[in-house]
Amino acid sequence: MAEEAFHLPGSSYTELVKIIQAYAKVKADALLPEVSKVIGIHSTQISRSTGFLVDIGVLAGGQKKGITEAGRKLAQALELEMPDEIRQNWRRIVRPVDFLDKVLAAVRIRKGMDRSALQSHIVYSAGRSKTAPVLAGAVAVIDVLKAAELLRDEDGRLVVVPDPSIDGFAVDDIEPSSGAAPATTGYTAPTSTGRGIYEFSVSPGVPVSIQIQLQVQCTVDEIEMLGPKLRRLIESLSSAAEQPESTSSSE
């Protein structure tokens, strides 16, 4: 049974980007004709995508809509064509959206889907009819997930990209050391936000190499104190790693 109707974009990813950038350029909450003047796209075309942008938190408002702070950061990254920032901002926007998380879950469960099958799945799950704008919008959703690097093309299919920044350890990010037997892994089911605590176990004596990425979020005012705090943390970890094991010896 299809989920409760979800707004899909009514245009391509390229036009979606233009709409986001246009709302970032208007000074306040704007009506469609005002946004239309900025990018030269007809108001009707813009209106087909504003519902989706509100649903994912890029826009907010009623008849007059304005860009959110998350949307503004994304627009700036898109305007400056900064790939890392574009990926990071799309991820921050996409992750809390339950519908998009379920799209990723569907691809993950099937261990990949071809583009046309995923397009049809998105349309059905959104509770929409297969009209030309809706089908284009489903492709735009796929492109958003690819821009966030949560989906990628692999051997003609779309697969979910392991996300090292989720809570806990991602199973796909655990790599046995060279020559070691594969680790036996298991994990809890992801939550509705795509996050879960992943657990793993290995046989005694089997070395496993684990990579941990640390992401730090801070305000401009906190940057000055960030360096000393990180330095103390690194020194603490280094001293703990270098401390020799206690041994007993007799002469």
Within this chain, do residues 92 and 49 fall inside the same structural domain, yes or no?
yes
The 10s digit of each residue's pLDDT in 200-235 is 444 555 555 555 555 666 655 555 566 666 666 666
Read off the pTM: 0.65
Domain ranges, residue 196: 171-210
Within this chain, do residues 177 and 202 fall inside the same structural domain, yes or no?
yes
On whether residue 153 sits in a domain, the answer given is yes
Arithmetic mean of pLDDT, 164-189: 41
Within this chain, do residues 93 and 190 fall inside the same structural domain, yes or no?
no
The number of distinct structural domains making up the chain is 2
Within this chain, do residues 62 and 145 fall inside the same structural domain, yes or no?
yes
The 10s digit of each residue's pLDDT in 10-58 is 989 999 999 999 999 997 889 999 999 999 999 999 999 999 999 999 9
Q: How would DSSP label each residue in the chain?
A: -PPSP-PPPSS-HHHHHHHHHHHHHSSSSB-HHHHHHHHT--HHHHHHHHHHHHHTTSEEESSSEEE-HHHHHHHHHHHTT-HHHHHHHHHHHHTT-HHHHHHHHHHHHTT-B-HHHHHHHHHHHTT----HHHHHHHHHHHHHHHHTTSEEEETTEEEEPP-TTSSS--GGGEEEPTTPPPPEEEEPPP-TTS---EEEE--TT--EEE---------GGGHHHHHHHHHHHHHHHHHHHHSPPP-----
